[in-house]
Structure 1
Amino acid sequence: MGYRIVDPDDVEVPDGRPCEYRSLTEAGDLDEMAVNLFRAEPGEQVPLAYHYHEQQEEAFFVLSGTLFVETPERTYEVPEGHLFTVDPESPQRAHNPEDADERVELLAVGAPPAPDDAVAYDPGEDD
């Protein structure tokens, strides 16, 4: 058996990200999923550019604020306390719009953990 408590504030925030990003995967000693905490101020993107994953399923649980997720078909507004899920090969861009009134904070879970699975997507190109 194994148990751990992780304080996200003890996890280092890497440089070069479009918003505050804390990877909880390694700190939690997780092997079968990736878990990340994001805090995005108005105008910031979560976490990458428009992209999709070839294998990974993703789930975003909004802890506070409203998350906006742009897809080829529409933009979803995900309110606090709600879960948004993304199937593999489904392009999306999660962000907090510039005209938002507050920061958005969310927990992102992906499985299987696939650090090199993200593929850039250009919504202006035909597949």
Structure 2
Amino acid sequence: MTDFSKSLSVSASALQAQSQRLRHVSENIANVDTPGYRRKTVSFEAVRNGPHIGGVEAGPVRLGQTELQQIFDPNHPLSDATGHYKGSNVNLVVELADAREAQRSYEANLKLFDQARQMSSSLLDLLRR
């Protein structure tokens, strides 16, 4: 595998991993008001085999273990005898920060992918002369 194709492969694997991270962040934001919803997080792992060796991939999805928020609403169908029900453990500030970080990482990997593509294209142009 040439260095150009390897850099494209590594960058593509990072793009896929960041897009999966963004998907989970958007799910968390969409379910911020869903009773009993637990925040999803994803970690990254190094690729040890396959076409993207040296790249990254999204690891298993983990559910947040922080306590669910207790919400007082005696009229809610899920409320207990004290009038409380369990909300979600999603913090919008944390989710927005995660979304911004994932977006910036995605953009950086996209720029790397584009740079490698342009360099390989320029090399082919030079070789044709």
Structure (1/2) with the larger helix percentage: 2
Q: Compare the two structures and name the one with the higher strand fraction.
A: 1
Q: Which has the larger radius of gyration?
A: 2
Q: TM-score, normalised by structure 1?
A: 0.20
